[in-house]
Amino acid sequence: MNPAEREGFKPVPVVIPGAAPWKFALRCVVDLQLATIVRALRPALAQLPPGVVLDVGAGQSPWRGWLPAHCRYMGLDVANAGDFGMAHGDDITYYDGKHIPFADQSFDAALCIEVLEHAEDPEGLLAEIARVLKPGATLLMTVPWSARRHHIPHDFHRFTSERLQSMLAAQGFGDVEVQERGDDVGVIANKLLVLAIRLLKSVSPKNFLLKLPFGFLFGALAACMVALAHVSGALKLGGREDPLGYFCSARR
């Protein structure tokens, strides 16, 4: 069987929040990975100085609407973005995933949101990002940590905080800050939610007596844990050694 066929359900692409704000807000309540990305990324985007911002792995360009008015957006994605469920965008540059097709020191900032784990050569991708950034430019990046394999067979890595810092330093980035996104309470909630969805999606006439009750049971537990995860995140109650992911900021 093809590995891609074994993926129970693929992640839903993140779309532009302004297109349907209430849907995006509702998704952030349920999707803890997305909620923690938004919590860290949105204020960081608001602080970017004037200039051109390169969005590496742009997808559906969900973050461009949160850029300050003095920033100009440039989207970049791999030619096989369709494998990740992304629709083709006329204003996005597509490339081979290895050599970014822009000149040295072309950009004033870069985003790399939930992309590095899908790069077969993450050091090479960071080197290319560093190459096209101007001296003093800002890089904002997120990666998952406790997350199921996704977009199979294009999921290659998980990075610790220490590894992220060393990789960025090796490419000449300074002022590196790495912070956890979420905590172990959020991880438990996320796992329960994925389990409930998987059980309910696989219900059939042959197994509904077994899977349907357990699906609803784990769904109820997941709903309680998701609510608790939001409280835990706001009050910083959970353990930080097993986060949902990391948010990084660095200076070229």
Question: Would you state the pLDDT for residue 23?
Answer: 92
How far apart CA 130 and CA 153 sit, in angstroms, is: 27
Q: Is the pLDDT assigned to residue 3 strictly greater than 50?
A: no
Specify the pairing of strand 245-251 against strand 174-181: antiparallel
Angle, helix 32-46 to helix 208-235, in steps of 10 degrees: 30
151-160, 184-193, 194-203: which range is least confident on average? Answer: 194-203
Question: Would you state the pLDDT for residue 208?
Answer: 81
Q: Is the pLDDT assigned to residue 169 strictly greater than 80?
A: yes
49-63, 77-91, 157-171: which range is least confident on average? Answer: 77-91
How far apart CA 214 and CA 199 sit, in angstroms, is: 7
Rounded to 5 degrees, φ, ψ at 162 are -65, -40
| Count of beta carbons in the 10 Å neighbourhood of residue 14 | 21
Question: Would you state the pLDDT for residue 8?
Answer: 67
Percent of the chain with pLDDT over 90: 82
- State mean pLDDT over 22-43: 95
Confidence of residue 222 (pLDDT cuts 50, 70, 90): very high
Rounded to 5 degrees, φ, ψ at 108 are -95, -15
CATH, domain 3-183+245-251, list 3.40.50.11540, 3.40.50.300, 2.60.40.10, 3.40.50.150: 3.40.50.150
Select, from the ranges 12-21, 98-107, 209-218, the one with the highest average predicted confidence (pLDDT): 98-107
Q: Is 212 helix (H, G, I), strand (E, B) or coil?
A: helix
- State mean pLDDT over 230-241: 94
Q: Residue 140: in which H helix or E strand, if any?
A: strand 133-144
Q: b/e for 71-102, b at 16 or more Cβ within 10 A?
A: bebbbbbbeebeebebeeeeebebeebeebeb
Question: Would you state the pLDDT for residue 6?
Answer: 65
Cis peptide before 153 (omega within 30 of 0): yes
Average pLDDT over the chain reads 93
Q: Residue 194: in which H helix or E strand, if any?
A: helix 184-201
Q: Is the pLDDT assigned to residue 207 strictly greater than 80?
A: yes
